A and B are shown apart, each in its own frame.
Chain A
Amino acid sequence: ETGVTQTPRHLVMGMTNKKSLKCEQHLGHNAMYWYKQSAKKPLELMFVYNFKEQTENNSVPSRFSPECPNSSHLFLHLHTLQPEDSALYLCASSQDLGGESTEAFFGQGTRLTVV
């Protein structure tokens, strides 16, 4: 248990579906992140939120839409995805964006398959 909870753990969706991934942390952290992890590739940072404000959008296609209603919750809304979007989506949180150490705590991820 890392203190960061993601649901669902597994998701299969069609290309015309709309679904949402949920992330919750009760560590009192101020920064939250969405990452995409594909097999044998580096983690790709998608979005960063700090104090509920989006500070980073790494050229992510608009079919991925993040939402951060408060500092404990983060959503990733998905619509009209492509098969190449199939991957493990990881949520993470950290105390702040910078500073000493400030390691990130990860959720267990949502394994997404787009069919």
Chain B
Amino acid sequence: GQNIDQPTEMTATEGAIVQINCTYQTSGFNGLFWYQQHAGEAPTFLSYNVLDGLEEKGRFSSFLSRSKGYSYLLLKELQMKDSASYLCAVRDSNYQLIWGAGTKLIIKP
């Protein structure tokens, strides 16, 4: 079966750095997405990786290793507004998105 694993919850301190990991086993691979979802709001797109390596976008970076079935989202200079759930999703060989259950990130002052 297809599976996406990510930690259920993480806690970090304002101003620090946090890394949210995602491992996947899917039928084929056509890209990996990270989304941010604040409580009661729509998921919003953060990043897309299809080739191995690091994609940097401001305070957020996303890394992919296709051979290891692994990605991480790196958040730097954490702000209170970064408290949210972070969803990892992989697009399989049929271009279907397979979703993880999300990682709830709690930022403490």
Contacts of A64 in B (CB 8 A): none
Which residue on B lies nearest to A2, using beta carbons? B42
* Total chain B interface residues with beta-carbon distance under 8 A: 25
Which residue on B lies nearest to A109, using beta carbons? B42
* Total chain A interface residues with beta-carbon distance under 8 A: 20
Asked if B31 contacts A90 (CB within 8 A), the reply is no
Provide the bound-state CA to CA distance between A84 and B33, in Å.
29
Asked if A90 contacts B101 (CB within 8 A), the reply is no
Asked if A106 contacts B42 (CB within 8 A), the reply is yes
Chain B CB within 10 Å, residue with most, of A42, A56, A90, A104: A42
Query: B23-40 interface mask toward A, CB cutoff 8 Å, 1 = contact, 0 = none?
Result: 000000011010100001
Provide the bound-state CA to CA distance between A88 and B57, in Å.
29
Across the interface, B42 reaches (CB within 8 A) one of A4, A42, A56, A103, namely A4
Cβ of B48 under 8 Å from chain A: yes
Known: A40-B101, A97-B95. A103 touches B33 (CB 8 A): yes
Asked if A103 contacts B30 (CB within 8 A), the reply is no
Across the interface, B41 reaches (CB within 8 A) one of A40, A98, A108, namely A108
Which residue on A lies nearest to B9, using beta carbons? A40
Contacts of B35 in A (CB 8 A): 106
Cβ of A105 under 8 Å from chain B: yes
Contacts of B33 in A (CB 8 A): 103
